[in-house]
Every structure is written in C-alpha cells, then in structure tokens.
Structure 1
C-alpha cells in the first residue's frame, strides 16, 4: 500500500500571506521526483493549541508528516514544544546539538546568544536530523501511525537537509523508490483550457493520470505514473505527444542550452525588438552569447513594413519583434527560406506578461527554424491576424 505523506507549514507570516510558501511546493515536487506523492498539505499559524490538535489528528491518518518552520530561537517558534505536548513527552536538552551551535558561533568569533539554547530542546525520544547550514536542527519522532520530520523554514537550509539527511532516511522507511514517477512536458501556445478539451476526454492507460501547471509563458503538462507497465507508459506518452504536436518545447526541465545552443553556433544571429522591451534578448542570452541584440523603439508596426525593413539585413539569420500597431504586433524571422512574418494580437493587460509572451513567441519561431519544424503555427493564446512569407 502506498504511504500517505502530508506536509504542514507553520507560522503566522505564512498563514497570512506575508511570506509566500515556496517550501511546500518545492517539497511536493522533490518528493514526487523520488516517486512519492504528497496526499495533503496544511498551514497553521503560531498557535500551540492548533498545532497540537493537528499533530495528534494527523498522527492517526498519515504515515509520514513533514513539518516546516517554527524551529527558530524566538518565542513564536513553538513546533518542538507543540510536538512534545502532542506526544505527551517532555522537552530535553540535546547536548550534542548545543555544542554544535556553540562551535558554529565560535568559528565566527561570536558568542552564542542564550536564546539559541532553545533550539537544542527536542521532544524526548526524538532523533536529531543534522542541519549543516544553520542553527536549527531538524528532528524525527514517531507518534501513533505517523513518523514526523521537523525542518527549518529557511529555504536553503531545508533543501540541504532534505537532500543530504532526509531522503536517505525516507528511502529506508518508504522503500528505495516510490510507486510514482513523473514525466514533464513544457508546451507553448496552447491554453490550459484548450489542453483540457484535447486531453481530459481521452482514455489513459491504467495507473497514469494527467497534471497541469500554468507557468507563463508555458504550460507544464505532467504524466503522473503509478504503474511499472512499460507498454502502458509508452502508450500514454505517445498519445500525449500526438495531441500536443509541435507545441512541445522542452521535456523534464526548461533548459534550452544543451538542445539549441549547439544549433546556434556560427549562425551570426541578430535580434531586433521593440514591443517586447528587451525580453527577447534576455531569453536568447540564457542559451548563447553568440548573437547581436538591439532594443529599438520605433520599429515598423505592420507585418509588411517589418518584413521589408528586415530584408535589408545582410545577415544570414535575423529575428525581429516590431512595434504594436492596429492589427497587433508583427514578429518576423529572416533566413535562407525567406522572411516569415506573422502579426499576433495581444489580449493581456499586464505589461510584463505581454513582453514575456511576445519574446517567447519570437523565440519559438527561431526554435522551430533550428529544429526543422514549421515556423509559423496557430497559438490558442495569441490569435494571428495575418501571416505570410516574403521571398528574399
């Protein structure tokens, strides 16, 4: 039977939204990469009674509970105290961790504040989980059905502890690998609702479900696999790829350096952009430094004018985003195949989102050209008012 895994985020600042809870999302994804899917997530403020009630409740329902936050030296850091009360045990001084903290301060020629001693007070019977970065150690403790792991809220400390200390423990407890795996597909130009219409009605092989995540300018589509049937996995992936077609821009992670970087070598690429405000140059610069970028206000705002302006270029590969005009914003790619230009209509008010989408649409034209796909295609999210190729 698959283990029931839950997350608890603590702190008034997290509960009220003063701090965005990125730790919970990172933990869920990190666990899923190992094959373990989180079943539930909870957020609780700095109220000891609420924490005790939740810990006792979840101890009967979950196999593993990861608690994030509340291990600091101040009076509102009460996770250890609440766990001790939930388990009906006292807090005890962990002499080893007290000495570790004292050594950390001594190595920086500082005297440890007395308040830090609180971070060495752990529930009786708890197993210490080392924190090589900060002063808040983690700890693990069993209560009823569940094993609780307590982790600090500082993201850099959490990530280091998770990879170095907790994952080895979890593999021993839950098995070397979980029952799940995830294959990630990044798409551009399709809307989340459009993808849902395409995919949700399809029958998927047993043990495989779909997941969506909108992260402008792309949509991340996930195959969540809870089967070891290789034929089913291959069939599901083939079915997905047949539906999304050439809108797939990346797999597993959004990193184009390895795939497109070599294709841009010695291409003498030139970029001109207006309406995208320099965003296209930023995008390309993450892949290669071998290009020439220009941000120019006053580029043509019609597809025809931009195409004629671009054909004056003597460079073998030129990409341009024009100014916004009555029909939309023209985007053009000049190559040995001619000048391919399309005018896209923007219906997004947020300026940053507009620039990001424009830049990625132009980048997608370049990507398609480099890998030998059709350069201009229909996008759900960016209606096209005109499209043509001007011979060079």
Structure 2
C-alpha cells in the first residue's frame, strides 16, 4: 500500500490558539485514494527544521504533502526550505506571477515586492495553480517520493488538492484500493461507557480497526479496514478468516444497536442536518428561544441549505426582562424558580411557539460560566424544553468544560431533544 506523510508548517500552530484542519482533510482525501497517511508533523517557520522533517519524511513515504509557508511574509519559508533541501535555486515563474497580478488587478491593487516573492519556486518544480488565492503551490520529485507544497489557508489548500494534486496522483499511479471507513456519532454517553458497550462487537481477527473519539458534540466510533489488512496473516486461523468478509455495514449496525438510543448519525452527518431533513419531510416549522447559547442553535440549523422551509425565527433572550418581554415568561416564575430552571425553560418554549404560531418551540437556558454558578446550580447546568401542541417536554443536562464548550454542548443537547421527539425516541435516557 502506498504511504504518505503530512507536514504542516507554521509556528503559530505550535503556540496554541489556532487549530490545524488541513491535515484532517488531506488524510481523508488520501484514504479515499488508497493512500495511507502514516505520520503527521507540525513544524515551525524555520528553514533547518523544515528541511529536517522533509528529509525524514522522504525516506518513509512515497507521497509527502506540505501545507503552509507559501505566503508573502518573511516567516513564509517553505519555498526556501525546499530549495535548500533539493539543492536547487529559486527562480521566477512568469506564469505564477501573472496569476498573482491578475488576482490583484481584480481588487484594484498592485503587486508588491513581498507578493512577488511568492512567484519564485524551486527549479524543476511543477507549478500548482491557486484558483482561490494568490500563493502558488508546487510539486517536485525528490529521491523516491513526490512532494506537494500547498498553501496554509484551508480553502486554498483544499481547492488545490482537488484541482491539481489528485490529477497528478492518478497520472503517476500513486494510489491504490480505497480504504474502507464508516462511522457513527453518539450524544449523551461518555467515552468509557461507549467503549464498554461495544466490547466484542468487532472481533480482533477481522482486519477492522475500531476508533473512539470524544468531542464536545459527542463520541464517535469509527471502523476502518485497510486493503487486504492481515487478510493472509498466518497467525489467524482459518476459522477466523470469515470475519474478513463481513461488510463494515454489518458491524456498524451491530454497534448502533449496542449504543441506542444515543446514536444520532452515521458517517459524520451533523445533528442539524439530520433534524433539518426530518422537519422538511414532515412539513414541520420551528422557532427557538435561546438564552445561554446566544443564538448558536439557530446558527447551526440555518447552516443547512433549505432551512428556510422549516426555520421560522430565533430569539436570544439573555436577560430576565427579555424573557418576559419577548416570550411572556412571568415575573413570578422567574422569581420563584430562577432563570435557569425547568419551569422557565418550559415557559420559554411555550412562549416562542405560541407567539410565532409554529409547530415546535425549542428553548434552552443555563449557566455557561465561568462565573454565575452555585452549589445548587453549578456552571454547566442547562435546561432544554420542547413545546408542541398540548405537550411540553423538559430535560436537564450537566455539562463540563469552559464557556465555549458548555455552549456548544448545550446546543447539541437541545438539538438531541428535538431529534428524539422527531424519531419517536424517549427524551429521557432511562426510559
């Protein structure tokens, strides 16, 4: 099987505060082409360090993908590192310069000296055109591997991979049988409980790798089968070889059975998309009243194309006065139970549904932190309510994490309450 390495360049990625998403995308794309990414390295903006990781990667992999360090600033040194590593000179590529000039002309700007240096590429390198930005990419063969250098800006790197890198991989036969991969997503179970529930579902002698990954949106379980993985391993008895022929779909469904009612999606489909499809199919309309999530639920739902068919409105009612003015929550309920309570969540959901005239009213109220908590009502306490004609459901959550994480988990909890009702699943976990 062809192996690959991914190198991400950028000192800012080593200092915290910025996440690397390029390597995730690239690893997935490579897997679809039957190329296994075996190593990923993040390296700072230092020519010697970049040369070091490139030299090491070229010894182990047939394909090396580099992102970052192709911009116009002094810390963008991937070009210089590649030139030094391959002992070639940087030379101006007129075609690359024309592309940069054309993009700048569109916005009424002229190319500066810094921008011009992006058009200098190692001698012998193949130019990779940037259709969404200014920094050209390039590719070259060195030793026994093919090295691709892509911009660090995510949408530029992705477009360049699809438009330029993939055709080269195909042309040079740098691909194999695609890696099989399936996954399911759960919400409401911790990682350890998921692991306990699925023990023994996928036999060890099956050639299938099981992965469990926790995130603020829940815990996902992935199944991966490499082409011919261990299929002819002499240590595996003939009685176990039949496990290699079991489709991943069968294992996935068996896992799903073990993890119900907490499974909400398959193969990375987000909760908001699943809910949108269900609302559209049933012709239902929705309005939301958000307090602690500050509009996050509405944002997620309206990210789905076609959401105008079911999404009516969303109200951010952060203060008690807003809850009274916009939703009709009474002062008596707020004083008696507090803004973070099941009765207030219920009144919010009923208020937004009745005032908007929709089929479903969804509300959330809670304490996102870091302050505002008490021993009785700690940070992370969240109440969700769902109101339909003649019935209102409420559910209490206790989330962990910082403010952003609590808000994200609260939005997922609210959407999960809605999902359960839409699919006829008990909203209470223990029912």
- Please point out which of 274, 279, 286 is paired with 1:256: 274
Distance 1:359 1:51, change over 3 A: closer
Aligned equivalents of 1:162, 1:150: Cα separation in 2: 10
User: Do structure 1's residue 199 and structure 2's residue 190 form an aligned pair?
Assistant: no
- Please point out which of 233, 243, 248 is paired with 2:258: 243
Aligned equivalents of 1:203, 1:257: Cα separation in 2: 29
User: Do structure 1's residue 354 and structure 2's residue 406 form an aligned pair?
Assistant: yes
Aligned equivalents of 1:343, 1:48: Cα separation in 2: 53
CA contact (8 A) 2:386 2:418 kept: yes
CA contact (8 A) 2:213 2:220 kept: yes
Count of equivalent residues: 376
User: Do structure 1's residue 118 and structure 2's residue 136 form an aligned pair?
Assistant: no
* Correspondences of 1:95-244 after superposition (within 5 Å): 95-174=94-173, 178-200=177-199, 202-204=201-203, 206-227=206-227, 231-244=246-259
Offset, 1:40: 0.6
Query: C-alpha deviations, 1:30-56, integer Å up to 9, x for none?
Result: 433544332111122222222223222
In structure 2, stretches of 5+ residues that fail to align are 229-243, 318-322, 325-332, 368-373
Offset, 1:5: 0.8
Aligned equivalents of 1:8, 1:107: Cα separation in 2: 32
Distance 1:317 1:52, change over 3 A: closer
Offset, 1:63: 0.7
Give 3-state SS (helix, strand or coil) of 2:426's partner.
coil
1:390 aligns to what? Answer: none
CA contact (8 A) 1:171 1:177 kept: no
Aligned equivalents of 2:86, 2:349: Cα separation in 1: 72
Give 3-state SS (helix, strand or coil) of 2:35's partner.
coil
Offset, 1:64: 0.7
User: Do structure 1's residue 363 and structure 2's residue 362 form an aligned pair?
Assistant: no
Offset, 1:137: 1.4
Aligned equivalents of 1:249, 1:79: Cα separation in 2: 42
Distance 1:356 1:123, change over 3 A: closer
Distance 1:37 1:243, change over 3 A: farther
Query: C-alpha deviations, 1:109-155, integer Å up to 9, x for none?
Result: 54422344432322222111111233321111111121100111222
* Correspondences of 1:1-392 after superposition (within 5 Å): 2-17=1-16, 19-174=18-173, 178-200=177-199, 202-204=201-203, 206-227=206-227, 231-252=246-267, 253-254=269-270, 255-256=273-274, 258-263=276-281, 265-266=283-284, 269=286, 271-272=288-289, 279-283=296-300, 287=307, 288-290=310-312, 295=317, 296=323, 300=337, 317-321=360-364, 326=376, 330-335=383-388, 338-344=391-397, 346-348=398-400, 350-378=402-430
TM-score where L is the length of structure 2: 0.74
CA contact (8 A) 2:2 2:174 kept: no
CA contact (8 A) 1:52 1:85 kept: yes
CA contact (8 A) 1:129 1:140 kept: yes
Aligned equivalents of 2:49, 2:136: Cα separation in 1: 23
Out of 149-158 and 170-179, give the one that drifted further: 170-179
RMSD: 3.5
Offset, 1:342: 4.1
CA contact (8 A) 1:73 1:118 kept: yes
CA contact (8 A) 2:182 2:248 kept: no
Offset, 1:370: 1.4
Aligned equivalents of 2:67, 2:26: Cα separation in 1: 10
Aligned equivalents of 1:207, 1:363: Cα separation in 2: 35
Offset, 1:82: 1.9
Aligned equivalents of 1:11, 1:3: Cα separation in 2: 27
In structure 1, stretches of 5+ residues that fail to align are 379-386, 388-392
Offset, 1:330: 4.9
